[in-house]
Amino acid sequence: MRIHSCFSAALLAVALASCMAAQSQATAAQPEAAPAKSRGELKAERQFQMLDANGDGKLSRAEVALLPPLAAAFDEADTDHDGFVGMDEVRTFAVQYRARREQAKREAAAREPASAAAKP
C-alpha cells in the first residue's frame, strides 16, 4: 500500500511539473500585452480614420481642412515635413499638446491664489 501511495505521489508530482512547464512555455510564447489606450488616444484614432478619406494612413492638408483647429496645427504636427501627418505624428503632437495644456493649467492655478490674496 505504501509503495502505491509513493507511486501515486510521484506520478502527481510529474503531472504537475509537466503542466507547469507547459503553462510557462505558453506564457513565454505570448507577446506582451500592449498597454491599454486612453480615451483620448481612442478618440484620436477614430477621428484620424474618419479624416483619412483615401485610406492611405496619413492626413493631407485637404483632409484636415474640415477641422480648422487641426488645420492650424498642421505644420507643427508634420514633424518630418513631408506634407502629411501620420498617426505617429498625431500621437507625438497630442503628447506635446497635453503637456502644454497641463503646464498652462499649473501656471493659471499658481496665479489664482496670488490674485485671490490681492483682493480685499
Q: Tens digit of pLDDT for each residue in 57-90?
A: 999 999 999 888 788 999 999 999 999 999 999 8
Domain coordinates in residue numbering, the chain: 1-29, 39-118
Question: Which H or E run contains 86?
Answer: strand 85-86
Between the alpha carbon of residue 43 and those of residues 21, 46, 87, 94, 106, the distances in Å are: 41, 5, 12, 11, 25
Is the pLDDT reported for residue 113 higher than 90? no
Which of 46-85 are b and which e, b meaning 16 or more Cβ less than 10 Å from the residue's Cβ? eebeebbeeeeebbbeebbeeeeebeeebeebbeeeeebb
Share of the chain above pLDDT 90, in %: 36
Which of 11-15, 79-83, 94-98 is least confident?
A: 11-15
**pLDDT above 60 for 97:** yes
What number is the average pLDDT over the span 43-57? Answer: 91
85 SS3 class: strand
At residue 40, the pLDDT reads 78
Backbone angles phi, psi at 10, to 5 degrees: -65, -40
Average pLDDT over residues 43-59: 91
More confident residue, 6 or 55: 55
Asked: is 39-118 a CATH 1.10.238.10 domain? The reply is yes
Average pLDDT (89-94) is: 86
